[in-house]
Amino acid sequence: MLFHLLYPLHTVYSVFNVFRYITFRTIYAAITALLICFVLGPWIIKKLSTTGAINSVREDVPTTHLTKEGIPTMGGILILTALVIPTLLWADLTSTFVWLVLVATLLFGSIGFADDMLKLRRGRGKGFKARYKIALQAGVALVVSGILVGALKFDTRLYFPFFKGFTPDLGWFYVPFIVLVILGTSNSVNLTDGLDGLAIGPILVSAGTFMLFCYLAGHSRFAEYLQIAHVKGSGELTVFCGAMVGSSLGFLWFNTYPAQVFMGDIGSLALGAALGIVAIIAKQELLLVIVGGIFVLEAISVIVQVASFKVRRKRVFNMAPIHHHFELKGWAEPKVIVRFWIIALILGLIAISTLKLR
């Protein structure tokens, strides 16, 4: 919005020429998102508390979590507000990619909102049945993949992080692949959101990493030099990622241990889906495994635990997801959180290093 209102004035006042630069708009999208969190955060948290959006501790978590009973949830409302408004203000709104990511993020947020409302009514984390929630998510992801591959004629080749010459074309098989990526990322983030600030830290790192990749993919010269896929128009998603960094950082202010608010499914499902779609558009789908390594680890721990118990009637971990395993091993909650953040940061750096390892 500001881009369309102010940039045309650059012919009269040269100072407005700065709005043409994605880097400038990304920085201020992040700052705007951060300020929105700081201004609206206390009010939204108070509203969530007074309207009964209160966390109920599930029975399948460590007993130490009983202290989290009564803390407001659905803080994802704050995150989405601080993500959407700066994007609308600072991004080029003629970009199809920007609208696609925004709408898909809000749709996943709506699914999370409905799930959170059911949990509040039924108590003890009893929201949608898994198959219904997956079906709704798959429906949105299928529409996204259909728009990309069908309407936008998106590149269906798969680019491997460590190889520059190996780019197999999946053709229409790229559609189910996109659905799998979006579902996997969304639900992995959802599984990770179990401790104060645990999920939002890796989200912040992932958003910052893909902010760089979107900028490079959208710049033909940089993409050619680094031998990565050039995706025309993907550079505008840098602004979206900048807003995600700012909103994540702002939310962390209130979500850090001991948390004043939890993001709920409205936040985790939406942010996970957003990361997945951004990675797809930047043609860095496989890099998600590295960048989102914490989310992958959490998801795998649940899969392994369930499979082991069904086949062997034995558990591999004390409790899954794996962050609960470390809690039961005697790690204090802040130690688990910060160590997972450190791992996420290292993985983000490794992902960036692949730019020079092709």
Give the model's confidence band at 14: pLDDT under 50 very low, under 70 low, under 90 confident, else very high.
confident
Write the pLDDT tens digit of every residue in 105-153: 999 999 999 999 998 887 766 788 889 999 999 999 999 999 999 999 9
Bridge partners (DSSP) listed for residue 54: 72
pTM over 0.85: yes
In this predicted structure, the answer to whether residue 58 has a pLDDT above a threshold of 80 is no
Residue percentage of the chain with pLDDT more than 90 = 84
Query: Cα dist. 236→9, 12, 25, 245, 294 in Å?
Result: 20, 25, 9, 15, 27
- 73 and 37 in contact (C-beta within 8 Å)? no
pLDDT(163) > 80: no
* Mean pLDDT value across residues 2-11: 84
pLDDT reported for residue 150: 93
pLDDT class for 358, splitting at 50, 70, 90? low
* Contacts of residue 27, Cβ cutoff 8 Å, sequence gap at least 6: 242
pLDDT score of 68: 87
Residues 208, 245 contacting (CB under 8 angstroms): yes
Mean pLDDT (the chain) is 94
Length of the chain: 358
Instruction: Give the per-residue pLDDT at 60.
Output: 73
Measure the CA dihedral 342/348/351/357, to 10°: -70
pLDDT tier at 39 (50, 70, 90 boundaries)? very high
Region 285-301: mean pLDDT is 97
- Name residue, tokens 């409905």: 114
Is residue 129 within 8 A of residue 114, CB to CB? The reply is no
